[in-house]
Amino acid sequence: MSNDDNSTRKAPTNPAQLQATLNVIPAYTWYAASSGALTFVNKRIADYLGLPQDHSLRLGIDVGTEWDSHIPFLHPDDHQETRKVWSTCLRTGEAGEVSFRVRDAQGRYRWFLSRAEPLRASDGALVVWVGVNLDIEELKRAEQTLRESESRHREIIDTVPSMLWSAAPDGEPTHVNKTILDYSGMRFEDFLSLGWKEFIHPDDFEETASVFSHSIQTGESYRIIHRLRRADGKYFWHDARGEPLRDKEQRIIHWYGLAVDIDEAKRAEDELRVTQARLARASQAATVAELSASIAHEINQPLAGIIASAETCRTWLSGDNPNLPRARAALARIIRDGNAAADIIRRIRALFRQMAPAKTFLHINEVIDEVKRLAQDELNRRGVTIETALAKDLPAASFDRIQIQQVLMNLIRNAAEAMENTSDDAKRLMVRSQCKDGSVIVEVCDHGPGLAHPDKAFEPFYSTKQNGLGVGLAISRSIAQAHGGTLLVRNNQPQGTVFSLTLPLKANDDTKI
């Protein structure tokens, strides 16, 4: 090899200058030969290790069997990882870093992050390894404190007698507590990637997924009541809720939630509902029985008179010499009592079925506004907001103002009562009007639970209310039919009920109730 070749492999600066430079750098610095032998540590390291000022450091480090004895100031637990990283650097010639604990002059250990970079000659040959050790003791302590804090919080969460969970902003679970794992018999990994589907009753999953997805997309609070599967395969009702945690910019950084067992309360509620329905039917039956007794009492009196007069008439007409004047008097009493019975029947019929409507041509929007004003106090008391979407310039229709007011008032009151258990922001009632196919149509829409059996809504004495007699809608439909119109019902989307009243524009005075 020529002298020129040798000159290109010399260090880029002389050792004395390099050492002087490293000694004044405010960091723990060192360098080692290309073979890995540690040949210099700066004054800051020497002071830390307690080396004398005239120390001579030249450790020919063997990354094999002699490593431990040549690096006595390294913590015993860190030898293996440090040797592994340093061996890789020497083998590849690439930079590397490793964390380890170093003992100081008083025998105390502190954590350092050591980084080594190869210093090469102009031809690329590795001349020396230059390194810096950064004191990360405080960082390590902070990390340890954080780990211990997280561990304590996790232990607290795991001991809370409720099902607690957390999720990332996209809804992917990040933690479920021990209560959930013990209850479900599942592992945390089983909940990932929609794995929690197996935890929810099949009949409740679609609604749960829809509500949860809505919360993730909008950032709104999450709440649903559904059934969760226990490890033995049995399902129990739970009230599940979730809230987003936001940063200063109001961005969601995490979701936290819980599920509370409400199975006993739910079953008790269902049993109470069944009992109330039975009591309501019993009350209706008692009302019908009382009404029937009153009707029977009213009608029995004229019927008894009719029978007595008929017997008397037969007596006066029998025999060889019938007494016609007295027979005629008995027949007059029969006619009188018959008319009395007929009057009673008419009064009862008028009670349950409205009298013929007194129709005039009116604008339905005006009637809607009147009913809205009449119902406003009750709606305010129930916390219900009423909105209207009334078509302009609707033609007049022929109807009885009082009877149609009665129908609309009944529909609005029913809609308000249907939203009794709805959240406050969903207690919205909509009244719409339009003209279609020669009729005016009024729709009353609510956001309640809807009707389980819409086809039974107009049956007399059928009611979903605890104390309802179930005649209001039957009477309302009779009024609509008396006007030549219809009263229909359908379930609203995504929830609630729509009642639709149709009144023909053309007057039909021949319509009878």
Residues 393 and 344 in one domain: no
Q: How confident is the model at residue 8 (pLDDT cuts 50, 70, 90)?
A: very low
For residue range 495-504, list pLDDT tens digits in order.
888 999 999 9
How confident is the model at residue 190, as a pLDDT? Answer: 92
How confident is the model at residue 307, as a pLDDT? Answer: 84
Find the range with the poorest average confidence among 214-228, 430-444, 491-505.
491-505
Rg of the chain over Cα atoms, rounded to whole angstroms, equals 46
How confident is the model at residue 186, as a pLDDT? Answer: 94
Collect contacts of 148-154 with beta carbons under 8 A, ≥24 apart: none
Q: Specify if 385 maps to a domain.
A: yes
| Whether the Cβ atoms of residue 262 and residue 187 lie closer than 8 Å to each other | no
Q: Is the pLDDT score of 357 beyond 70?
A: no
- What tokens appear for 172 in the block? 């992917």
Residues 188 and 205 in one domain: yes
| CATH number of the domain bearing residue 102 | 3.30.450.20
Of 240, 261, 282, which residue sits at a domain end?
261
- The arithmetic mean of pLDDT across residues 334-342, rounded, is 77
| CATH number of the domain bearing residue 310 | 1.10.287
State how far the Cα of 366 lies from the Cα of 368, in Å rounded to an integer: 5
How confident is the model at residue 7, as a pLDDT? Answer: 41
Residues 430 and 498 in one domain: yes
Residues 331, 333, 334, 339, Cα dihedral to 10°: 130
Residues 207 and 323 in one domain: no
Give the total number of structural domains in the chain. Answer: 4
Among 158-167, 251-260, 340-349, 477-486, the range with the most confident prediction by mean pLDDT is: 251-260
- The arithmetic mean of pLDDT across residues 371-386, rounded, is 83
Q: Specify if 154 maps to a domain.
A: no
Q: Is the pLDDT score of 355 beyond 90?
A: no
What does the DSSP 8-state code read for residue 280?
A: H
Q: Is the pLDDT score of 469 beyond 60?
A: no
How confident is the model at residue 9, as a pLDDT? Answer: 46
- The arithmetic mean of pLDDT across residues 306-333, rounded, is 84
Average pLDDT, the chain: 80
501 CB-near residues (< 8 Å, 6+ apart):
404, 407, 408, 411, 441, 442, 443, 444, 480, 485, 486, 487
For residue range 258-294, list pLDDT tens digits in order.
998 988 888 877 777 776 666 666 555 655 665 666 5
Higher pLDDT, 276 or 513: 276
Q: Specify if 146 maps to a domain.
A: no
Helix (H) or strand (E) run with residue 124 in it: none
Closest CA to 255 of 153, 170, 368, 188: 170
| Whether the Cβ atoms of residue 396 and residue 435 lie closer than 8 Å to each other | no
Among 35-39, 154-158, 202-206, 268-272, the range with the most confident prediction by mean pLDDT is: 202-206
Residue 299: give the domain boundaries: 271-352
Residues 277 and 340 in one domain: yes
How confident is the model at residue 330, as a pLDDT? Answer: 81
How confident is the model at residue 401, as a pLDDT? Answer: 81
Residues 286, 289, 290, 292, Cα dihedral to 10°: 160
| CATH number of the domain bearing residue 439 | 3.30.565.10
How confident is the model at residue 184, as a pLDDT? Answer: 93
Q: How confident is the model at residue 428 (pLDDT cuts 50, 70, 90)?
A: confident
Q: Is the pLDDT score of 256 beyond 50?
A: yes
Q: Is 328 left (phi over 0), alpha (psi -120 to 50) or beta?
A: alpha
How confident is the model at residue 407, as a pLDDT? Answer: 85
Of 293, 326, 352, which residue sits at a domain end?
352
Q: How confident is the model at residue 245 (pLDDT cuts 50, 70, 90)?
A: very high
Residues 222 and 191 in one domain: yes
Of the chain, the percentage scoring pLDDT greater than 70 comes to: 78
Q: Specify if 470 maps to a domain.
A: yes
Higher pLDDT, 267 or 69: 267
Among 205-209, 263-267, 307-311, the range with the most confident prediction by mean pLDDT is: 205-209
Within 160-262, residue ranges assigned H as helices are 178-184, 202-218
- The arithmetic mean of pLDDT across residues 10-38, rounded, is 76
Among 142-156, 199-213, 392-406, 442-456, the range with the most confident prediction by mean pLDDT is: 199-213
Q: How confident is the model at residue 348 (pLDDT cuts 50, 70, 90)?
A: low
Q: Specify if 513 maps to a domain.
A: no
Q: Which residues of 156-185 are buried (b: 16+ CB within 10 A; e: fewer)?
A: ebbeeeebbbbbeeebebebbbebbbebbe
Q: How confident is the model at residue 27 (pLDDT cuts 50, 70, 90)?
A: confident
Q: How confident is the model at residue 231 (pLDDT cuts 50, 70, 90)?
A: very high
Q: Specify if 28 maps to a domain.
A: yes
Higher pLDDT, 41 or 207: 207
State how far the Cα of 384 lies from the Cα of 414, in Å rounded to an integer: 12
Among 17-21, 358-362, 384-388, the range with the most confident prediction by mean pLDDT is: 384-388
Of 261, 295, 321, which residue sits at a domain end?
261
Find the range with the poorest average confidence among 12-26, 426-440, 481-495.
12-26
Residues 25 and 131 in one domain: yes
**Distance (Å) of CA 1 to CA 34, 121, 124, 315, 348:** 20, 16, 17, 160, 130
How confident is the model at residue 4, as a pLDDT? Answer: 43
Higher pLDDT, 171 or 359: 171
399 CB-near residues (< 8 Å, 6+ apart):
357, 359, 360, 362, 364, 483, 503
Residues 280 and 406 in one domain: no
Residues 180 and 217 in one domain: yes
Residues 206 and 184 in one domain: yes
How confident is the model at residue 479, as a pLDDT? Answer: 81
- The arithmetic mean of pLDDT across residues 406-418, rounded, is 85
How confident is the model at residue 431, as a pLDDT? Answer: 93
Q: Specify if 512 maps to a domain.
A: no
Residues 234 and 347 in one domain: no
State how far the Cα of 223 lies from the Cα of 470, in Å rounded to an integer: 33
Q: Specify if 497 maps to a domain.
A: yes
Q: Is the pLDDT score of 45 beyond 50?
A: yes
- What tokens appear for 392 in the block? 């302009």
Residues 191 and 235 in one domain: yes
Q: Is the pLDDT score of 24 beyond 70?
A: yes
